[in-house]
Amino acid sequence: YKKVKSSHFGHSVCMLILMMVFQSFDSVGQVGRVKTSLNHGWQFSRTIASDSLEWEAVNLPHTWNAQDVMDDKPGYHRAVCSYRKELQIDSRWKGKNLFIYFEGANQVADLLVNGKKVGSHTGGYTGFIVRVDQFLNFEEGARNEIVVYVDNRHNENIPPLSADFTFFGGIYRDVFLIATDRVHFSLDHAAKGIYVTTPRVSEEEASLHISGFLENTSEKDQRVRLKTTLRNPDGKVIGERTSLANLRKGSQTPLVLNMPNVQKPKLWSPESPNLYHVLVQVLDARSNTVLDEISSPVGFRWFRFDAKTGFHLNGKPYKLIGASRHQDFKGLGNALPDSYAIQDLKLLKAMGGNFLRVAHYPQDPAVLEACDRLGLLASVEIPVVNAITETEEFYQNCRSMQVEMIRQNFNHPSVIIWAYMNEVLLRMKFVGQPERQKIYISNVAKLARELEELTSKEDPSRYTMLAHHGDYTRYKDAGLLDIPMITGWNLYQGWYSGNIAGFAGFMDRFHQEYPDKPVVVTEYGADADPRIRSLSAERFDKSMEYSLDYHEIYLKAIMDRPFIAAGMAWNLADFNSETREETMPHINNKGLLTIDRKPKDIYRFYQSKLLSAPFIQISDWDRRAGCVDSGQVFSTQSMDVFSNGESVELFLNGKSLGQKQQSDKRFSWQVPFVSGTNRIEAVMSSGGQEYRDVRNVEFQLIPRKLKGDMLFEQINILLGAKRIYSETQSGLIWLPDQPYQSGSWGHIGGKPFELPSKARQGYGTDRNIRKTEDDPIYQTQQVGISQYKMDVQDGHYELILHFAELTSDEKKEALVYNLGQAEKQQAAQERVFDISINGLTVYRDMNVAKRYGALTAHSEKISVEVNGGKGIEIGFHPKQGDPILNAIQVMRKY
């Protein structure tokens, strides 16, 4: 088909005219099928419509949760909301079949036409089509109104029941009006109507098989001619077949079309995504007018998964490396124009990835279309996440989602796996009732077997897969490792549990016990907040450096093991998960890209390991601060370079810091940064040519001795932390605290705040801190501090003390992904203390929780006149409980 875009009306007013010569609306009467978007001119109401309500003008795609998932209030609007729109119906369409096609609405949708309910759909992630012409008024100038009620409330019978992502409500994908003749390809299940398979493919020859259903909704029998045309990737017709069929009135007729074999097919692969094009037309046998037509991409490829040697594409071993993708974007929720989805896949390609796990639900049709075109292999899954409900209604919804997913996406050569459960035993039901739990688990397995059978019946040409969390025996005992063709593991050793090295051991054990089961790593990842850096990275610090260490080790273990067919990083991009708090509340930070798709260093790391074209990029940690001892003019910190070069040489302000050789790790240098701009240049050579990357690093030197030869302007310190934080807005850089040393600064007394849970030592709380965007400044603190000293020289200073009470009785939704380790919160503590500066009490009875609320940022600014060589000595005097300090800033004014 041809896609005609009119810049005049914006991106979403596009008209698809099926493979005819250019048509205008005047000839609509003769066109086989017309598909036009209905994205514009809707009205929206946050409740069930009634005439007294205020309506808001919106365009689709639309979600009503784009904003409220980011605010400080827990939860988001989960309700029945209403959309309405006046339909302009061309009077010449009388006699046509008209359908409204929704690419997706989350999660239950009811469609009303002129006040009458004409269709409904359950499930937020697959498309649906409703025929509407019977309910429309075709008279010239007649009013037609459509109303859609969309419901995103929790429903025990609709998967997903719970998940680490947000269930944004709305008509969040494109909506189209489709006009066809009375005779047309079936639109059942919102599928294409034709199913393309390539049963035998080799380098020599490929077979092509097309089946489908034709509907005759007219009052008379029809004799039709079917014309099938195959074009090669250059657009040249290389095969044509016609046949005749009788379509009985009011019936559905199956059709089977076998095309001549294609000789020496141009195979499809990620490296050369050659797409053929097949067009099937239904013509009136007598008049030869086109009644309907459908086209589809065709890719000739063959593949298999082997338990020992991994994945094979077109006869050769082929390691699959890629990432999962969620469908949201900063500020937009899930309501993205297609271009955003396509851009994501281009970024995955540009990373060197060849695989996309469409997780945890089917996504916009644009996604798999782009996979076909760009060359990405893919798995797709329905959103059965964490748990099931043991009701027939739940099972039925699973089945229909699975069927819709498969039929709607059947023809994509990119798809190689259908999956249907993710970590289904994570939120275990009936804890403490072993007998009942056994029944529950057997019901989960029963559902899995049923979906497995259904899948292989619908599509025996693809593999099936389940993705499990790392509780090996739980899934083994449940029998879930035996059901699908491929086992997928979501593993977080070194993040939620254990240490990074445990990953390889887990995979080896599985392979030993299941030597005949193909296996993939469906997930692995670690939070990486691009504002957080570390010179001594640790688990849970959310630093880019820890996640780099993590991905380095995982990727190497995956690459070193031929039996691991695929590795899929979790996740391509940061994504919204409303219940998450942590350093960026409501965001899961495991993306290789930020939520607005800026590359993080981990993305660059993958580029350096996966791309074959010469690649060299310097880390984007380019606003730094660090301490210097007296007499020194530089501060040494490590700096990473990402490159696939055999060796790389680094230059600082034109001076070589030496050459390093390629290894499993990233290239890294100790760089003596000077104050101000440091020009960093990294150079590699390949094929007799030099490639380089240049980055200016702005460095602030902070004198360790505050009275030394170098004067400081400002110091920003995080207490109870080892990480470095840089504020996005102001550019301020916060350094970790130190115990007080004479001549310098630091705390005296106390210890860093810790959650009671052992798993989380060292990095304060993971709660959302209200009234700040810079949560990491407040999420750590020194508890029981007695003094903070700064040995500054005489002068005028300003201090800012930052506080937040980190203990609270406010419940936090247990983050179920912290496998096994229930996050114990610390019960609210009462603390009252005085603060003195150089002996003078400046705050009496400080009680931050009481005055400002727990988990809320609060700061105090104080002017300090320092004389007599005393420096600054802040005293914390407990009256009740332990005094606290979260962060401190000191500014030298004059």
Whose tokens are 């082929």? That residue is 318
Q: Binding string, 531-570, against ligand GCB, x = CB under 6 A?
A: ---------------------------------------x
Tokens (6 digits) for 76: 């988001």
Q: Which does 856 bind (CB under 5 to 8 A by kind): ligand GCB, Ca ion, none?
A: none
* Cis ω for the linkage preceding 802 (within 30 of 0): no
Q: Binding string, 219-248, against ligand GCB, x = CB under 6 A?
A: ------------------------------
Q: Is 578 in the site for ligand GCB (CB under 6 A)?
A: no
Q: Which is nearer to ligand GCB, 231 or 590 (CB)?
A: 590
Q: Which is nearer to ligand GCB, 462 or 590 (CB)?
A: 590
Q: Is 590 in the site for ligand GCB (CB under 6 A)?
A: yes
Q: Is 770 in the site for ligand GCB (CB under 6 A)?
A: no
Q: What burial class does residue 154 get, using C-beta atoms within 10 Å of its C-beta: 0-12 exposed, 13-18 middle, 19+ buried?
A: exposed
Nearest of 864, 838, 837, 870 to residue 706 by alpha carbon: 870
Q: Give the Cα separation of 371 and 373 in Å (integer).
A: 5
Strands 237-247 and 205-216: unpaired
Q: How far is the CB of 12 from ligand GCB (least distance, A)?
A: 30
Q: Which does 174 bind (CB under 5 to 8 A by kind): ligand GCB, Ca ion, none?
A: Ca ion
Q: Which is nearer to Ca ion, 105 or 548 (CB)?
A: 105
Residue from the set 151, 372, 423, 459 that interacts with ligand GCB by CB under 6 A: 423
Which amino acid, one-letter code, is at 111?
L
Is the separation of the CB atoms in 150 and 169 below 8 Å?
yes
Q: Which does 588 bind (CB under 5 to 8 A by kind): ligand GCB, Ca ion, none?
A: ligand GCB
The distance of Cα 862 from the centroid of its chain, to the nearest Å, equals: 44
Q: How far is the CB of 339 from Ca ion (least distance, A)?
A: 10
* DSSP labels, 178-222: EEE-SEEE--GGG--SEEEE-S-B-SSEEEEEEEEEEEE-SSS-E
| Measured CA distances, 877 to 19, 475, 840 (Å) | 81, 54, 12
Q: Which does 590 bind (CB under 5 to 8 A by kind): Ca ion, ligand GCB, none?
A: ligand GCB
Q: How far is the CB of 593 from ligand GCB (least distance, A)?
A: 15
Q: Is 581 in the site for ligand GCB (CB under 6 A)?
A: no
Q: Binding string, 253-272, against ligand GCB, x = CB under 6 A?
A: --------------------
In the three-class reduction of DSSP (H, G, I as helix; E, B as strand; rest coil), residue 447 is classed as helix
Q: How far is the CB of 351 from ligand GCB (least distance, A)?
A: 19
- How would you list the strands of the sheet with 634-643, edge to edge? 616-618, 634-643, 667-674
Tokens (6 digits) for 156: 């025990």
Q: Which is nearer to Ca ion, 151 or 174 (CB)?
A: 174
Tokens (6 digits) for 556: 């190497």
| Count of residues in contact with ligand GCB, rule CB under 6 A | 12
Q: How far is the CB of 575 from ligand GCB (least distance, A)?
A: 8
Q: Which is nearer to ligand GCB, 23 or 818 (CB)?
A: 818
Q: Which does 864 bind (CB under 5 to 8 A by kind): Ca ion, ligand GCB, none?
A: none
Q: Which residues have CB under 8 Å from 394's CB, separation 6+?
A: 156, 157, 158, 159, 388
- Span 787-846, contacts to ligand GCB by CB under 6 A: 817
Q: Binding string, 492-531, against ligand GCB, x = CB under 6 A?
A: -------------------------------x--------
- Span 315-344, contacts to ligand GCB by CB under 6 A: none
Tokens (6 digits) for 871: 């420096």
Q: Give the Cα separation of 520 and 512 in Å (integer).
A: 14
Q: How far is the CB of 588 from ligand GCB (least distance, A)?
A: 5
Which amino acid, one-letter code, is at 367?
V
Q: Binding string, 454-483, against ligand GCB, x = CB under 6 A?
A: ---------------x--------------
Q: Is 490 in the site for ligand GCB (CB under 6 A)?
A: yes
Q: Which is nearer to Ca ion, 366 or 890 (CB)?
A: 366
Q: How far is the CB of 592 from ligand GCB (least distance, A)?
A: 13
The region that residue 423 occupies, defined by phi over 0 for left and psi between -120 and 50 for alpha, beta otherwise, is left
Q: Between vectors from CA 312 to CA 306 and to CA 318, what angle results, nearest 5°?
A: 115
Q: Which does 490 bind (CB under 5 to 8 A by kind): ligand GCB, Ca ion, none?
A: ligand GCB
Which residues form the interface with Ca ion (CB under 5 A)?
Answer: 103, 173-174, 338, 364, 366
Nearest of 47, 159, 145 to residue 87 by alpha carbon: 145
Residue 648, beta-bridge partner list: 660, 684
Q: Which residues have CB under 8 Å from 63's CB, separation 6+?
A: 106, 168, 169, 170, 172, 332, 333, 334, 335
Residue 704, beta-bridge partner list: none
Q: Which residues bind ligand GCB (CB under 6 A)?
A: 163-164, 360, 422-423, 469, 490, 523, 570, 588, 590, 817
